[in-house]
A and B are shown apart, each in its own frame.
Chain A
Amino acid sequence: MNNYNSSSDTSMPMIFLKNLFSKTIRTSNCVPKHVGFVMDGNRRYAKKKDIEIKEGHEAGFLSMSKILELCYESGVEITTVFAFSIENFKRSSKEVDHLMKLASDRIRQITEHGDLAEKYGIRVRVIGDLSLLPTDVLKDIELATEITKNNNRATLNICFPYTGREEIFHSVKTVLSQNLSGNEINEKLLDSNLYTSGLPPLDLLVRTSGVTRLSDFMLWQVINHDVTIELLDCLWPEFGPIRMGWILLKFVFNKSFTNVGSKTGEEYDGELNETNGVKDDNNQVLNKKKN
């Protein structure tokens, strides 16, 4: 799997195939606008391959940049990656330190001249409870955000350090600090105070490593009825562009179907009216029983 990954970004036929695929997918007009990734399984991958945890995280980053490249080429506008959970501070201080260093290095790297951010016009944002970060990491982040703030073709949200509950809590608290009266507070207001405010809603959530839970990622956004959740059985560094391409194809295929023949919304109103009738019937039956 390792060999196949490294060969996939260098060999000409693979690049050709990737371009062909992304252009084809683009013409469908159904590409997800906002994709979320939970990058899980770097440490298990390191264990499996018998390499250091550090190298596992490196492999994870490599995998991430390849997948982001495919996404942006296919027309995805926003990607949100779960890089570091607030709960991850519980790990050994050595690993936390290393993750911090890795993150600030990589954030610096992708915003460097000629790399991912410039190539695809990506605005890099770091979202989460930034107050928990050490100052030197914070400086790197500010710099990266500053350099890329005028890019407008795509956005990369790096959740670092982040939890979904903290995001909701943050939104609630921001709303409360505005001293608004009760009637002015609604779902939209809370929505616009989330870290992901102003961006198109989440369309697709991808989680690797065979775990079937969200682990506190984008809780508020993911419950929307039209979010597709893909839970995969492979570890994050093994999750290459080919698997991502398959997921995109599946998403686009399903979306083109529903755009054509879906009248589910209308159908549902009809059903609800009918159910009221049934409910009355039931009540009548119950009343009869009582009498």
Chain B
Amino acid sequence: MSKIHEKVLSKHKSEAERQVAASRHREPEASIIYNTKHTSKLNVLKSIADAMIVGDESNQNDPNFKAMKRDSFWVTQLHFIVFKILLISVYFVFGIFRYFQYQYNKMRLRVLNIIYNPTSTPQLIRQDVLKLSKVPKRLAAILDMKPIGEVGGGVKGIVNDASEIVCWTVSAGIKHLMLYDFDGVLKTNVQSLRGEIAEKLSLYFGPTDTPNFAIRIPHLNKVYYNGADDENYNAKSEKVIIEISLLSNRDGRETIVDLTRTMSELCLSHDLELSDITMKLIDTELTQLVGHEPDLLLYFGPALDLQGFPPWHIRLTEFHWEADNDQVSYLVFIRGLQKYSTCKINVGK
């Protein structure tokens, strides 16, 4: 079966990268917060009003609306106006509620940030984790690249966030980490990521005990060991503490399409019979092509948005995110682990 694996990978290499339909609309809640327009309190209210006015205009072009009969026209319009006014008042009340909810969530996150103080000492993280009855074997995280002008934005920001997560994961004693970003920014900047991780790890563990790590890009079938300048690393003799897989949108549905293509070619040349194709075969192939299913998926945005994460791999994955949070912070990480330790998975039963 490794034949299929090789074929798909060779396809990855030969083909010019397919343009992924990357219509990037954020999750509604996310966009309100990310949209710099709405950051000030007055602006939030202003945009609520805007939403109402523009919503009104768009409705007048409704074809059903024009098609109404003349005599019932005014009655329907009266109805319409009454409900529109009702909608506007409901929006207004909800908008005020949402504003206070947002402030409350932000305050909560600030308090939690103090309780779970971000420290660069692995011992403290270890202590937090040792209290837990169960720790995930495989961890995944979805990262967003923030606009370049913001604090922690751009490629540097995302690389920094990624390496921070790697350090927490190593400290927690988890051996597999998947880092997902939609556009594959981490994949294209793998060299600077290597450097950054090595730097951060030596900061956490001291320059003499820096753990060894491996970065895998499943889609290109490449593995990198340790920091960028560590050329004389011997993969066999030294133990790798953490394996990091970098994923992007390309590893999601596109990979399933690639697998289907390959299998279809094999079917046509009668190397593979249709009856040989089972769920198990697809599962093993996708595990080889992308990786194992993670146990816990952390999202560092304000509302869960899976952004094209490999669909086959989220069957029983536990999700964790904090409402209205937009930072890669330790509190999301540790609270995610805490939640995972209490959850019980019973497949079907």
Contacts and interface: CB of A to CB of B under 8 A. Distances in A.
A185 B253 CA distance: 12
A253 B94 contact: yes
Contacts of A85: 348
B326 interface: no
Q: Is the interface of B mostly helix, strand, loop or mixed?
A: helix
A77 B339 CA distance: 35
A167 to B, nearest CB: 10
Given A24-B90, A212-B339, A282-B189, A226 B27 contact: yes
Contact of A254 (B28, B55, B252, B310): B28
Interface stretch (B118-126, B171-179, B258-266): B258-266
A190 B268 contact: no
Contacts, number: 231
Nearest to B252: A223
Interface residues of B, number: 89
Contact of B47 (A181, A224, A254, A260): A260
Given A165-B279, A286-B195, A190 B27 contact: no
A-B pairs, 9 with minimum CB distance: A87-B348, A254-B28, A182-B261, A219-B311, A223-B306, A282-B192, A27-B83, A24-B86, A268-B24
A29 interface: yes
A256 B51 contact: yes
A219 B305 CA distance: 13
A10 interface: no
Contact of B83 (A26, A177, A279): A26
Nearest to B62: A29
A258 B33 CA distance: 11
Interface string B16-45: 000000111111110110110110000000
A282 B261 CA distance: 37
A190 B260 contact: yes
A263 to B, nearest CB: 9
A274 interface: yes
Given A176-B263, A225-B26, A260-B50, A90 B308 contact: no
B274 A176 contact: yes
A211 B156 CA distance: 35
Contacts of A24: 83, 86-87, 90
Query: What does DSSP make chain A's interface, helix, strand, loop or mixed?
Result: helix
A187 B315 contact: no
B257 A186 contact: yes
Contacts of B84: 27
Interface in B219-234: 228-229
Contacts of A290: 229
Contacts of A186: 257
Interface in A152-184: 164-166, 168-169, 172-173, 175-177, 179-182
